[in-house]
């Protein structure tokens, strides 16, 4: 009998919304002058983002000159209730009590503290004292997929369910004006947003069977995407060459992943692609030969939420699951520092039966 793990429940939690227009005119427009303002404006309004989510909105509270210590203290205050809401919703969706979990894994690259989210939420959600905990930091936008792989491996090996939480508060890492004028910072501030997403993974059962998680890392491009800890928060480095690197590798990753399970691209009816930005989605669509409908959900996630780092691909998965006719086969793709590409194949229980 084949052993597999299933995605049995998903939960999402997001802070209050702010439109891209509001955040540009209400804050960022006043911090750029002359030609730089025109450039920044074009970047903001070509980012594919309509609405952002901010636990700490610059319209209400300017954190640009806060120390990293002050930002980390605020991270704990904001991330705990947001993470708790997402995790509770995932458990409810899966019909599972928190005290039945065998593993609780947390991915976050935007904040650190001890005791961390894994400890505090295990306590607040009523997990058993013997639950195993894992905290993964600084993997960035692709962290959800190795997190899923770890949860699945545990569920299969131990025969117990696992919970994965991805929680990011990029709004806490607004940079000072003298740094913010850098082109890479303009792009970062135009795209990134806050969210939490949680997934329950069970040994077998109903839901989406997790067939495989695959990865490729191009070590020659390690400097293309960085996330540096500074005295004034964490600073993003984002090379414009990132889409070119994805173009080199994404087709090979997807073809190999699917071929190992006797599946072709045309057999996949659900695509949850991390929307790092419009160019990222354009490259994926072009290299995989997908039509506009295939990436419509990923583009809508970018428009409605922005790039929320690690939770974003799970936001797209949740949107696919909520369709009137959910897809039977789903490929999740996410990209981040390394440069690293991750892909995951999910198949619904109706396909695997």
Domains of the chain: residue spans and CATH: 5-203 (3.40.47.10), 208-352 (3.40.47.10)
Specify the pLDDT at position 352: 52
User: Residue 170's closest CA among 193, 196, 189, 188?
Assistant: 193
* Mean pLDDT across 122-144: 97
CB 252 within 8 A of CB 87: no
pLDDT digits (tens, 9 = 90+) for 85-96: 999 999 999 999
Catalytic residue among 107, 109, 141, 166: 141
Specify the pLDDT at position 148: 98
* Mean pLDDT across 211-225: 95
* Mean pLDDT across 37-48: 94
Specify the pLDDT at position 1: 42
User: Residue 172's closest CA among 190, 186, 198, 193?
Assistant: 193
Q: Is 70 exceeded by the pLDDT of residue 117?
A: yes
CB 281 within 8 A of CB 163: no
Could you give the percent of the chain with pLDDT greater than 70?
98
Give yes or no: 141 in active site.
yes
CB 116 within 8 A of CB 165: no
Specify the pLDDT at position 260: 97
Half-sphere exposure of 186 (CA within 13 A, CB side): 18
Could you give the percent of the chain with pLDDT greater than 90?
91
CB 35 within 8 A of CB 242: no
* Mean pLDDT across 253-282: 97
pTM, two decimal places = 0.96
d(CA 53, CA 193): 5
User: What is the residue-averaged pLDDT of the chain?
Assistant: 95
CB 73 within 8 A of CB 300: no
DSSP H/E element including 339: none
* Mean pLDDT across 131-141: 95
Q: Is 90 exceeded by the pLDDT of residue 33?
A: no
Specify the pLDDT at position 181: 74
Rounded to the nearest 5 degrees, what angle is found at the Cα of 221, between the Cα atoms of 186 and 39? Answer: 20
Specify the pLDDT at position 351: 63
Q: How far is CA 18 from the centre of its chain?
A: 19
Q: Is 50 exceeded by the pLDDT of residue 265?
A: yes
CB 345 within 8 A of CB 329: yes
Q: Is 60 exceeded by the pLDDT of residue 267?
A: yes
Among the residues of the chain, which ranges form H helices?
20-26, 34-45, 68-94, 117-124, 144-158, 177-180, 183-191, 242-259, 278-288, 296-305, 312-321, 349-352
* Mean pLDDT across 118-134: 98
- Confidence band, pLDDT 50/70/90 cuts, at residue 70: very high
* Mean pLDDT across 243-263: 97
Q: Is 50 exceeded by the pLDDT of residue 126?
A: yes
Q: Is 60 exceeded by the pLDDT of residue 72?
A: yes
User: What's the sign of the alpha-carbon dihedral 23, 26, 29, 30?
Assistant: negative
pLDDT digits (tens, 9 = 90+) for 51-68: 999 999 999 999 999 999
Q: Is 90 exceeded by the pLDDT of residue 2?
A: no
* Mean pLDDT across 62-82: 97
* Mean pLDDT across 172-190: 89
* Mean pLDDT across 95-111: 98
């Amino acid at each position: 009998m084949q052993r597999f793990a299933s995605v049995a429940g998903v939960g999402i939690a997001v802070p209050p919304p702010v439109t891209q227009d509001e955040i540009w005119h209400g804050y960022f427009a006043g911090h750029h002058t002359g030609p730089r303002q025109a450039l920044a404006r074009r970047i903001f309004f070509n980012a594919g983002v309509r609405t952002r989510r901010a636990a700490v909105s610059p319209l209400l509270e300017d954190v640009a000159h806060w120390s990293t210590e002050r930002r980390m203290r605020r991270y704990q205050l904001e991330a705990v209730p947001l993470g708790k809401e997402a995790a509770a919703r995932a458990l409810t969706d899966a019909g599972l009590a928190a005290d039945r979990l065998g593993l609780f894994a947390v991915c976050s690259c935007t904040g650190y503290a001890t005791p961390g989210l894994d400890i505090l939420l295990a306590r607040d959600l009523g997990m058993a004292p013997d639950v195993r905990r894992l905290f993964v930091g600084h993997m960035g936008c692709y962290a959800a997929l190795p997190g899923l792989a770890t949860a699945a491996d545990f569920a299969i090996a131990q025969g117990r369910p696992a919970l994965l939480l991805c929680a990011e508060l990029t709004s806490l890492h607004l940079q000072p004006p003298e740094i913010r004028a850098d082109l890479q910072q303009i792009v970062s501030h135009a795209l990134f947003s806050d969210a939490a997403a949680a997934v329950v993974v069970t040994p077998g059962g109903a839901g989406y069977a997790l067939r495989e998680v695959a990865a490729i890392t191009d070590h020659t491009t390690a400097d293309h995407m960085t996330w540096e800890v500074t005295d004034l928060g964490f600073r993003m480095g984002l090379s414009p060459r990132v889409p070119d690197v994805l173009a080199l590798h994404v087709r090979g990753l997807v073809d190999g992943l699917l071929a190992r399970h006797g599946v072709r691209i045309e057999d996949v009816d659900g695509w949850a692609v991390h929307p790092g930005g419009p160019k990222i989605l354009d490259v994926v669509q072009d290299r995989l030969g997908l039509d506009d409908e295939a990436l419509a959900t990923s583009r809508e996630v970018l428009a409605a939420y922005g790039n929320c780092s690690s939770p974003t691909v799970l936001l797209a998965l949740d949107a696919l699951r909520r369709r009137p006719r959910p897809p039977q086969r789903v490929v999740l793709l996410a990209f981040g520092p390394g440069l690293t590409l991750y892909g995951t194949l999910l198949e619904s229980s109706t396909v695997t039966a």
